[in-house]
Amino acid sequence: MNLLLKYRIVLCGFIVGLILSGLTAFPLTYELKIAAQILENAPFQIPTLNEWIFRVRDALVETDAKFPFLAYGYDWLAFAHLMIAIAFVGPLREPVKNRWILEWAMICCVCVLPLAFICGPIRSIPLGWILVDCTFGVVGFPPLFVCWKWSKQLEAAGLAA
C-alpha cells in the first residue's frame, strides 16, 4: 500500500472519530438514559461508574425539563466537532501544504490533559471520568503524529503537494 493511501486511511479514521463524537453530543440525554438502563441490567456492577452515570442522567433529565435551552451548549459542542472534522479535508487533499493543521490538532490533543485536570475538579468531575476525557487527547495524538510524519516523507519524496 502506498504511503499517500495509508496517510489518507489513517486521517479518514480520525475524521470519522470527530464526526461520531460530534453526532453523539446531540442526543446526550437519550444516550445517558440508555447507558443507565444497560448498567442497571448488567450482570456485573461497578458502583462508582453506575453512580456517576445515574447522576449525570438525572441532571440532564432535570435540566432538560426545567431549562432546555442549556442543551444548546451541547448542540454547539457537536457543531464544533463537525466543523473541526471539515478542517481535516485540507490535509486529506494536500498533506504537505496543510501539515500545519495536523500540528494544530496535536497541540489540541496535548491541551486536553491540562483542561481536564484543571476544570474537572472545579466542576466536581470524578477522577475516573477526567481520565476518560483525557483519552480523547491520548488516543487522538498518535494517528495525527503518524500522518504528520508521513506528510514529511511525502514531501521529501515529492509525492504530494
Residue-wise pLDDT tens digits, 102-149 = 999 999 999 999 999 999 999 999 999 999 999 999 999 999 999 999
**Which residues of the chain are under the pLDDT cut of 70?**
160-161
Tell me if 35 is assigned to some domain: yes
CA 98 to chain centroid, in Å, comes to 21
Question: Does residue 159 lie within any of the structural domains?
Answer: no
Residue 136 lies in a domain: yes
Residues 51, 119, 134: CA angle, nearest 5 degrees:
70
Asked if residue 160 is part of any domain, the answer here is no
Domain that holds residue 127: 3-154
Cα distances (angstroms) measured from residue 159 to each of 22, 23, 130, 133: 33, 34, 41, 37
68 lies in a domain? yes
Number of domains present in the structure of the chain: 1
In the numeric block, which cell numbers belong to residue 104? Answer: 494544530
Residue 103 lies in a domain: yes
In the chain the first and final C-alpha atoms are separated, in Å, by 19
**Cell numbers describing residue 143:** 494517528
pLDDT score for 3: 94
Give this prediction's pTM: 0.90
Please, what is the angle between helix 3-23 and helix 127-157, to 10°?
A: 150
For 71, residues 6+ apart whose C-beta sits below 8 A from its C-beta are 28, 29, 63, 64
Is residue 105 within 8 A of residue 97, CB to CB? The reply is no
Is residue 13 a part of any domain in this protein?
Answer: yes
